[in-house]
Amino acid sequence: MKFFQKERLLNKENPRVSRRYLGATFFGIIIVVFFIFIGRFSYIAIHGQINNNNLSQKTAALYRKDTVIKAKRGTIYDASGNAIAEDTTTYSVYAVLDKKYVNAKHKKLYVTDKQKVAKLLSAYLPMSQAKILKTLQTKNAFQVEFGTAGKNLSLAIKQKIEAAHLSGVYFTATPARLYPNGIFASHQIGLAQAASNSTDTTLKGVMGIEQGYNTILSGKNGSKQVDQDSYGYQLPDSKTKYKAAKNGSDIYLTLDSRLQSYLETLMTKEQKKFNPKSMTAVLMNPKTGQILAASQRPTFNPQTGAGFGSANAWRDILTEDSYEPGSVMKVFSLASIINAGKYPPNAYYQSGKITVGGVTVHDWNTTGWGSIPYSQAFPRSSNVGFVHLEQILGHKKWLAYLKKFKFLKATHSGLPGEASGSVQFGSAADQSITAFGQGINVTVMQMMQGFSAIANGGKEMKPQIISKVVNSQTGKTTTYQPQQVAKPVTKKTTKKVISAMRDVVNKKYGTGTAYKIKGQDIAVKTGTAQISGSNGYLTGSNNYIFSVVGMAPASNPKYVLYITMKQPQNIQSTDATNLSDIFKPMMTRALAYSNVTTTSSTESTATMKKLSGESVTKAKQVLDKQKLKPIQIGTGNTVVQQSPVSGTQLLSNQRVLLLTNGAMTMPDVSGWSKSDLLRLEQLTGKTFKITGTGYAKTQSLPANSLMNSAKTITVTLE
């Protein structure tokens, strides 16, 4: 009995013993962990690091604010110092719709009056009140934007909208590039944009000079580093680390804005008339190689983005595309055989057709002109005659001259992405057809470089579009001097070639009589080149590249103008006279600028001033003093583009178009000439259908209406 009592007593004491043992164990573990923590903290305190991270640096970074100081991108100027591309800031508007968006005092920060917001925004955005209201009525959206209509707003427009104190309407700022002239050598100037898929808002050139000289234009960002507390105040005894931004350098071009703007107007008119797949035009000073005007179609407006939708919008046709030039190549084949001393101008040949290496070559007049002297082969543009001449010169000699004229090599004119060209020279047929511009691929810039040799007494000049670069930090100017790259032929040879080019214009049988300019000494060569396809040359009346090159004055050329038109869809004839509507007025205008003004003394003139960036009020005051007619296009108060551009000589009472920030509005065009309407079309990027002759009588879009509301604006002349 005692045994069992003792056993029960021991069983009662065991839980207390177990708890003592368990408590002691836990206490020991706590002691060990405590010493581990003490050791760890001591190590961190002594070494100031954890997991190889410096705690002092981490703490300092917590209170440090780093700010990037943006460098200003360099400005691109024309030859007269007028800005073509410059930095600016644009704004995008958005509206918050979520009714939960309130501040600490429960003030409503969302749109409370959608009708009021829609009405006010429609006055400043190219978007109707109804469409804005529909956007504001979007369901289950925290905020809404207004597409392209709500982007690229000027500071003046932003301030006008802000002045209305609309609840829920806000703005974001974006660095942007201002192109005040709109369509203006767009592919050659290029485009600079902020990255669209990142938070980096630094402008970067994506085409043209903006891309090719991006490093020079960009400069280098600076920085500012400040140590501050949680409230944003600078910490005592802390130092501000400051590194100044280095602004980009400015680039000056050889382009003459007066000639460039006029060329763009002529190109737009011709594009509407013929609807070609592409067109190019370049005006050069052959003495220096400087490009005075350059344009292409299709093109785009870098300011508005109009035209980016076309298939070839991003291609600089002048440098990136190579093509078979056709009969304008005869300028070089004639120069080569004359320079080689093998030209027989008075010998006769049978025109019409010739077979070379199993291939029959025809003249454009397939029946030919009978037996004619070689002196008529050039003005008549006889392919057969030039096959004979190439054979007289010799294949090897002809290829050597092609290389002397610097074909098959990029010109390095200053524009990016230049192609080198190529030539098919394997068979006798291939070799012969290159003499009249088939079987050889060239670029527009290579042709301009070669033409300079003919117009400049044998001295071939490198095409030049950049005249100088000015460092914004030091003021140091790097000037690009005219560069002679070759002397393929003698001055005596060039005189004979220009004489033959005169015959193209002046002889009854010449192919360029349509290019004659009254009172001017003009030398011309026309071309009609077949276009190579996958199964040989294309057929059909419009599957050609029409071209013309002209030099004036022919006795001592100051200008070379070269124009091409590829596959016009609306065409009545298959000759190269289709380009005379560009050539004649453009060359006439250039010659007029180079001479003392011929304006009658009874007519007063004024020099157009730079008005872009000025307030509308000031611009109108300036024009009134010059006795010019200001035409405001838009609801804004700042001029963003003007036409004509600065430096242009104007007659009194001539219209000056002022495109302002804000929504574009239609002016009253009653009494306007067709040329004024074409300038309006170019400036706004809108499509105009002009019918009739004379002066504007009616317009489909009423005056002061938003131009965005109509896809096509019809104006009837009477």
C-beta separation of 248 from 472 below 8 A:
yes
Answer left, alpha or beta for residue 634, where phi above 0 means left and psi between -120 and 50 means alpha. left
Residue 120: count of CB within 10 angstroms of its CB:
19
- Of the candidate ranges 85-99, 323-337, 361-375, 574-588, the one whose mean pLDDT is the lowest: 574-588
Give the pLDDT of residue 516.
95
Give the pLDDT of residue 68.
73
pLDDT (tens digit, 9 = 90+) per residue, 597-654? Answer: 333 334 467 888 888 888 999 999 999 899 899 999 988 888 888 888 887 777 778 8
Q: How many residues are given for the chain?
A: 718
What are the start-end ranges of the E strands in 101-190? Answer: 143-145, 169-178
Give the pLDDT of residue 4.
47
Angle between helices 444-455 and 330-339 (to 10 degrees): 40
CA–CA gap between residue 475 and residue 478 (Å, rounded): 10
40, 64, 88 - which closes a domain: 64
536 & 389 share domain: yes
224-243 per-residue burial string, b: 16 or more CB within 10 A, e: under 16: eebbeeeeeeeeeeeeeeee
Asked whether residue 216 is assigned to any structural domain, the reply reads no
pLDDT (tens digit, 9 = 90+) per residue, 409-435? Answer: 999 999 999 999 999 999 999 999 999
45, 64, 83 - which closes a domain: 64
Give the pLDDT of residue 575.
57
Give the pLDDT of residue 164.
92
- Of the candidate ranges 209-213, 310-314, 321-325, 534-538, the one whose mean pLDDT is the lowest: 310-314
CA–CA gap between residue 266 and residue 5 (Å, rounded): 124
Amino acid at 327: S
CA–CA gap between residue 632 and residue 599 (Å, rounded): 28
610 & 555 share domain: no
279 & 358 share domain: yes
Give the pLDDT of residue 233.
61
Residue 278: phi and psi, rounded to 5, are -160, 160
Asked whether residue 335 is assigned to any structural domain, the reply reads yes
- Whether pLDDT at 152 is above 60: yes
Provide the number of structural domains found in the chain: 4
C-beta separation of 504 from 575 below 8 A:
no
Give the pLDDT of residue 554.
97
477 & 623 share domain: no
617 & 649 share domain: yes
Per the model's pLDDT, the better-predicted residue between 392 and 157 turns out to be 392
- pLDDT average, residue stretch 500-521: 96
C-beta separation of 685 from 306 below 8 A:
yes
Give the pLDDT of residue 651.
73
356 & 501 share domain: yes
Task: For the chain, give the percent of residues with pLDDT over 90.
Answer: 58
Give the pLDDT of residue 378.
98
Read off the pLDDT band of 447 (50, 70, 90). very high
635-659 per-residue burial string, b: 16 or more CB within 10 A, e: under 16: bbbbbbbbbbbbbbebeeebbbbbb
Number of H helices, E strands in the chain: 20, 37
Q: DSSP label at 50? A: E
Spacing of C-alpha 383 from chain mean position: 38
Give the pLDDT of residue 3.
46
C-beta separation of 353 from 367 below 8 A:
no
Amino acid at 311: A
- Of the candidate ranges 354-368, 490-504, 535-549, the one whose mean pLDDT is the lowest: 535-549
Read off the pLDDT band of 251 (50, 70, 90). very high
Give the pLDDT of residue 205.
92
Q: Which residues pair with 642 in a beta bridge?
A: 658
What is the residue-averaged pLDDT of the chain?
87
Asked whether residue 227 is assigned to any structural domain, the reply reads no
Instruction: Give the residue numbers marked as catalytic.
Output: 327
Q: How many CA atoms lie within 13 A of 310 on its CB side?
A: 15
CATH, residue 288: 3.40.710.10
Asked whether residue 501 is assigned to any structural domain, the reply reads yes
CATH, residue 156: 3.30.70.2110
- pLDDT average, residue stretch 155-161: 86
pLDDT (tens digit, 9 = 90+) per residue, 518-575? Answer: 999 999 999 999 998 888 888 888 899 999 999 999 999 999 999 999 999 987 665 5
Spacing of C-alpha 650 from chain mean position: 27
Q: DSSP label at 531? A: -
C-beta separation of 465 from 289 below 8 A:
no
- Of the candidate ranges 108-117, 130-139, 253-262, 690-699, the one whose mean pLDDT is the lowest: 690-699
Q: Which domain holds residue 375?
A: 257-594
Give the pLDDT of residue 198.
53
CATH, residue 638: 3.30.10.20
Measured between alpha carbons, how far is residue 284 from residues 9, 174, 206, 572 in Å?
A: 120, 38, 26, 30
392 & 411 share domain: yes
40 & 107 share domain: no
At residue 701, the 3 state secondary structure works out as: coil
Asked whether residue 211 is assigned to any structural domain, the reply reads no
- Of the candidate ranges 179-183, 196-200, 245-249, the one whose mean pLDDT is the lowest: 196-200
583 & 638 share domain: no
Give the pLDDT of residue 199.
58
Measured between alpha carbons, how far is residue 716 from residues 545, 570, 669, 670, 708 in Å?
A: 33, 22, 10, 10, 20
552, 567, 594 - which closes a domain: 594
